[in-house]
Amino acid sequence: MSTSADILANIAAIQRRIDVACQLYQRRSQPTLIAVTKTRSAAEMASAINAGISDIGENYLQEALDKQAELRVQPKQWHFIGPIQANKTRAIASHFDWVHSVDRAKIITRLNDQRPAELAPLNICLQVNINDEASKAGASQDEIAQLAELALQQPRLRLRGLMAIPANTADQEQQRRNFAAVRSIFTDLQTQFPSAALDTLSMGMSGDMEAAIAEGATLVRIGSDIFGPRSSPSR
Ligand SMILES: *Cc1c(COP(=O)(O)O)cnc(C)c1O
């Protein structure tokens, strides 16, 4: 487990990397840093929030609910970024501000129908499976426009943009090609739905953050480079 001094120093280092990348790639506005906290303790999360993190991303519903209840300090926004089972949509729609991993029609209509009336509309991103990997969640590129049209009809949802987790590679040029492909689908959507407020590209993790910033990421999702390596590698 990382100490709060480690976490504070790591967040400062990430913020410097974001500054450098924004300067290098001439980005006018900085992406928002989401701290990804799957497998991390509530104490580690509190350290990150106390170090200035405003946005927290979680992959597993029950784990997230347990830690939301345990935390004394709250982030500004909770992001759900993991695979979505249909029987979990009610709790996801009630306990998060954003859902990044929306990839099928059934999930769109359930999240809309189950978003509590007293809360603001739920921000969503459609997850695109950019390298068509059988092992990965996400809609295919061909399905995205239809899903976007459906999402834009839902009064309790706000479609904000796209999320992607490209195939893992250390090759920066390949990383950039993958993220550029996501951006191209995004700009097509903006053209097709000009009245929609599509402003979000959720892309970039610890190993490929700079490439994502180069290609226009507005939300970056960082776990290991804030909290250290995860002990169970499969998660
Ligand atoms: C785990 C995870 C991250 C963070 O990954 P790191 O490599 O630890 O930075 C980002 N996005 C999603 C969807 C994840 O599951």
Pocket test for ligand 1, best of 205, 213, 219, 222 (most atoms within 8 A of CB): 205
CA distance 219 to 33: 6
Does residue 24 fall inside a structural domain?
Answer: yes
Within-domain flag for 19 = yes
**pLDDT at position 232:** 63
Residue 64 is assigned to a structural domain of this protein:
yes
CB of 222 within 6 A of ligand 1: the answer is yes
DSSP code of residue 52: T
Residue 234 inside a domain? The answer is no
Cα 235 to middle of ligand 1, angstroms: 9
| Position 232 in a domain | no
- What is the rounded distance in angstroms from the CA atom of residue 96 to the CA atom of residue 92? 6
Helix and strand counts by DSSP (H, E) for the chain? 9, 8
| CATH, residue 117 | 3.20.20.10
**Residue type present at position 124:** I
Residue of 107, 105, 59, 98 lying closest to 78 (CA atoms)? 98
The answer to whether residue 235 sits within a structural domain is: no
Count the domains in the chain: 1
Domain assignment present for residue 231? The answer is no
Ligand 1 neighbour 35 (Cβ under 6 A): no
Mean pLDDT per 10-residue interval, the chain, length 235 residues: 92 98 97 98 98 98 98 97 98 98 98 98 98 91 97 98 97 98 98 97 98 98 96 58
Task: Specify the pTM.
Answer: 0.97
Domain that holds residue 90: 4-226
The answer to the question of residue 66 being in a domain is: yes
